[in-house]
Amino acid sequence: MRFNLSAQALCGAICVSALAVPSPVEKRLQLIDLKQFGSFPTITPEQAHAEAQPLSIILGDGPQYTGKKATTSTTNKAPATAQEFTTEDAAAAADGTCDRNNPAVRFEWRNYSADDRKAFVNAIKCLMGKPSSGNFQGAQNRYEDIVSVHQQLTPLIHQRAVFLVWHRYYVSVFESIMREECAFDRAFPWWDETLDAGKFAQSDIFTDPYFGPLPAKTSDGQGTCIQSGTFGGTTLHIGPGSAFTAHCLARAVDESLTGTVTASFVSDCNSRTSYDDMRGCQELGPHAYGHNGVGAVMAEVQASPGDPIFFMHHLFVDHSFRIWQNGDASRTQSINGCADANNPCTPITMDYVLTSNGLRPNTTVSQVMDTLGGYLCYRYDY
Ligand SMILES: [Cu+2]
């Protein structure tokens, strides 16, 4: 809200409320055309549900799926509260070992205290206030270094086998940077989107003290710049797409899309016994609908991490992945699918290298397949 200082002085207290009403020009500036953001490709929940017609056929590749529905279970009992965990727990994997009986725990937003929530968003805000390393094109602050890596790697990390493992690694890189550069020392949260399906905007995750509001897509198809809350007034410099164009942090919720992010959609995808079938279903299913449902910056594949809710969303996606892995011990020990887009493609292996373009050291698929393997050391509270 800008207004002429001398006019304000002349006007005095009587005029303050009139001046606080945004002018039509300011109102227009708060909206942003959604066309520039595009959207993530999707499959329908019905396609995911059609086990008789496996996803590999829908997508036109891979062997026919004939497996039976896998059971899902969590292997660990959740502790009562986040407060039982200390910095040491959170950093349990720092030395490359993991006490499987005492890993860090990621707490669902509802089980995560108000104090931890504030500390979490403030640590993200802290990254936005730190200078860029200068190693990433277009990045204007440390947070945007992280966004840039996703933008640059987009063709290599989506719609192929590495999607889930690379994004697991990426979230861990984000966590590591928050801890080391902004002194974040709490347990990590995750967001069970299935509990908010169809009503994302009503979740208190989207309120001023946390990630800020989630305005609806306007009737003429525009997004709204976020003006209030922790990230109000944020200008992004990475994206849209492969561009580097200053634009606002905008959202444009479509609850008909968030309404598909249900527990049954997730479990239909997790019923696939083949990793890559499950991966494709999750990627084009609940993952894509969460992105498109929040809309605007989040709906744009390359630079979607510009909206910090990206990380809560990918913590949800990683949770679904871990739940699938809990269905069979072999699922932390092997991977299948394509490592590239060649035809025929190169099969991915456990030695496939994961990179964050120097944000943190490279690692391999085998290091991140097990969240309790030592390179990583965490589980989810349920
Ligand atoms: Cu991504």
What tens digit of pLDDT does each residue of 37-48 get? 989 989 899 888
Cα 276 to Cα 60, 69, 199, 321, distances in angstroms: 13, 15, 30, 11
CA 199 to ligand 1 centroid distance, Å:
23
CA 80 to ligand 1 centroid distance, Å:
32
CA 43 to ligand 1 centroid distance, Å:
17
CA 73 to ligand 1 centroid distance, Å:
26
Choice among 1-10, 183-192, 208-217, 282-291 with the minimum mean pLDDT: 1-10
Cα maximum dimension of the chain: 77
CA 227 to ligand 1 centroid distance, Å:
25
The helix, strand and coil proportions of the chain, stated in percent and rounded to the nearest 5, come to: 45, 10, 45
Residues spanned by the domain of 209: 5-380
CA 345 to ligand 1 centroid distance, Å:
21
Instruction: Kindly give the pairing relationship between strand 235-236 and strand 104-108.
Output: unpaired
CA 255 to ligand 1 centroid distance, Å:
21
CA 131 to ligand 1 centroid distance, Å:
24
Instruction: Kindly give the pairing relationship between strand 353-354 and strand 235-236.
Output: unpaired
CA 27 to ligand 1 centroid distance, Å:
32
The Cα 275–Cα 221 span in angstroms is 37
Q: Is the pLDDT of residue 102 over 90?
A: yes
CA 241 to ligand 1 centroid distance, Å:
12
**What is the predicted pLDDT for the residue at 51?**
59
> Collapsing DSSP states into helix, strand and coil, what is residue 96?
coil
CA 39 to ligand 1 centroid distance, Å:
12
Contacts of 238 (CB under 8 A, 6+ apart): 138, 139, 144, 147, 148, 151, 244, 303, 306
CA 170 to ligand 1 centroid distance, Å:
9
The Cα 179–Cα 270 span in angstroms is 31
The Cα 240–Cα 304 span in angstroms is 8
**What is the predicted pLDDT for the residue at 96?**
79
CA 382 to ligand 1 centroid distance, Å:
24
Interval 230-251: pLDDT, tens: 999 999 999 999 999 999 999 9
Q: Across the strands, what pairs with 106?
A: 380
Token pair 């698929």 is found at 365
CA 225 to ligand 1 centroid distance, Å:
22
**What is the predicted pLDDT for the residue at 20?**
47
The torsion angle over the Cα atoms of residues 36, 139, 305 and 363, rounded to 10 degrees, is 130
Cβ–Cβ under 8 Å, residues 182 and 123? yes
CA 134 to ligand 1 centroid distance, Å:
22
CA 46 to ligand 1 centroid distance, Å:
24
Measured at the alpha carbon of residue 155, what is the angle toward residues 153 and 160, in degrees to the nearest 5? Answer: 110
**What is the predicted pLDDT for the residue at 81?**
46
For residue 303, which of 355, 238, 224 has the smallest C-alpha distance?
238
Instruction: Kindly give the pairing relationship between strand 247-248 and strand 378-380.
Output: unpaired
CA 356 to ligand 1 centroid distance, Å:
12
pLDDT band at 135, cuts 50/70/90? very high
- Sign of the CA dihedral with 351 first, then 367, 276, and 159 last: negative
% residues pLDDT > 90 (the chain): 75
Q: Is the pLDDT of residue 313 over 70?
A: yes
For residue 363, which of 374, 352, 348 has the smallest C-alpha distance?
352
Q: Residue 134 sits in a domain of what CATH number? A: 1.10.1280.10
CA 167 to ligand 1 centroid distance, Å:
6
Interval 58-96: pLDDT, tens: 444 433 323 333 333 333 334 444 444 434 444 444 567
What values do phi and psi take at 50, rounded to 5?
-75, 75
CA 158 to ligand 1 centroid distance, Å:
6
Instruction: Say which amino acid occupies 123.
Output: A
The tally of domains found in the chain comes to: 1
